[in-house]
Amino acid sequence: MGIGASAYMGLMIAIAIATAWLLSLIFLLGHPPTDSPIALVAEILLRTFLHTGLFVTAHDAIHGTIVPNEPVKNRWIGQIALSLYGFLPYKTCHRLHWQHHAHPAQPQDPDFYPKPDGHLIQYFIQWYCHFISSYLIWRNLGGIITGIGLTTLSLIVVADVPLQNIALFWILPWILSSFQLFTFGIFLPHHTDSCREPLRDSPHQPRSYYYPIVLSLLTCYHFGYHREHHSHPNIPWYQLPNLALGGQ
């Protein structure tokens, strides 16, 4: 499908992701965890992938590509997706993400974390904590904690959902999703090999990773094609392969 895809495609994909997320959550919360370790891991990974899809949906809403030329609808869709993802405020995410696009891998970039010294693993952890803290800022943290707490309490008390199910199929995928988004959407595209400085030679040209298309989808909804995303932020995630592979 080319870049001139139907204006309804983004909305249909967003609905499909949210529906799959909700149905899988309802099913897995309502059934005892499987005794098969392989099946359990597969279920958790599926939930993680769908959870990441909620954030990617909000991301495309921020760029106005869910419903083209409909900023109000994009804002509502983005807020719903972020609320389902983890009670995140759309306004804050919108502001921080556009700062990231305006100043990628520079001091003004809220997603970037220059580290003077340290090994790669240490740098990864510190950058991840910085990335998370940018979105879980104190004035929003109360709402996030309240939302998670009330939802958990309601599931346990009202729906009689075991805490184990909540931890395995909601909380754990949320945590894993944050690592997935950070690793493939921030760290790999924007870090330097020395792990010491921003990309001085081309600060507005983050690197892309040209994985096979299925792997590209599974890693983080094609955001390994990150240079293409920064060059064409108006292109939705599902059209990035056309842009990336056509430009090689």
Q: What percent of the chain has pLDDT over 90?
A: 67
- Nearest alpha-carbon partner for 226 in 179, 181, 189, 187: 189
Whether 89 is covered by a domain: the verdict is yes
CB-CB contact of 199 with 160 (8 Å): no
**pLDDT tens column, 14-44:** 999 999 999 999 999 999 999 999 999 999 9
Q: What is the pLDDT of residue 172?
A: 98
Is residue 104, in this structure, part of any structural domain at all? yes
Residues 195/115, Cβ–Cβ less than 8 Å: yes
């240079």: which residue's tokens?
A: 227
Give a yes or no: residue 64 inside a domain.
yes
The count of structural domains within the chain is 1
Q: What is the pLDDT of residue 110?
A: 83
Specify if 77 maps to a domain.
yes
Amino acid at site 32: P
Report if residue 216 sits inside a domain: no
204 domain-assigned: no
Q: Are 174 and 212 in contact (CB under 8 A)?
A: no
Range of the domain at 105: 9-196
227 occurs within a structural domain? no
Is residue 245 assigned to a domain?
A: no
Whether the per-residue pLDDT at 179 is higher than 60: the answer is yes
Q: Which range (73-77, 90-94, 105-109) has the least confidence?
A: 105-109
Separation of alpha carbons 213 and 192, rounded Å: 24
CA distance 239 to 141: 34
pLDDT digits (tens, 9 = 90+) for 93-122: 999 999 998 888 777 888 888 765 668 888
Task: Give yes or no for residue 199 having a pLDDT over 70.
Answer: no
Is pLDDT larger for residue 201 or for residue 23?
23
* pLDDT of amino acid 194: 43
